[in-house]
Amino acid sequence: MNELIAVTYDVCEVENLYESMIEHTISDTNNLDEEVAAIAARDIAPVVKVFNQNRQLVKEYTFSQYECNCSELD
């Protein structure tokens, strides 16, 4: 098995927040970019980190469309 773990992060620079949310197991690693994009959309996560089973970082994705906009509200 070649499972990976994708962890979604909630990030807010204004509130100095950088917090892990949900861990997802990815079994179909052939379409990693698509799997991660779907996970980010589900959790509305601006950052997703993908780890292997040894908890080593494989790849980090950022999705600027899910960044919070609270700095623009003032």
- What does the binding site for Zn ion look like in residue numbers (CB under 5 A)? 12, 14, 68, 70
**End-to-end Cα spacing for the chain:** 49
- Minimum Å gap between C-beta 70 and Zn ion is 3
Exposed/middle/buried for residue 42 (C-beta within 10 Å: 0-12, 13-18, 19+):
exposed
- Minimum Å gap between C-beta 20 and Zn ion is 16
- Minimum Å gap between C-beta 31 and Zn ion is 31
Task: Return the number of the residue (57 or 70) whose C-beta is nearest Zn ion.
Answer: 70
Per DSSP, the three-state class of 22 is: strand
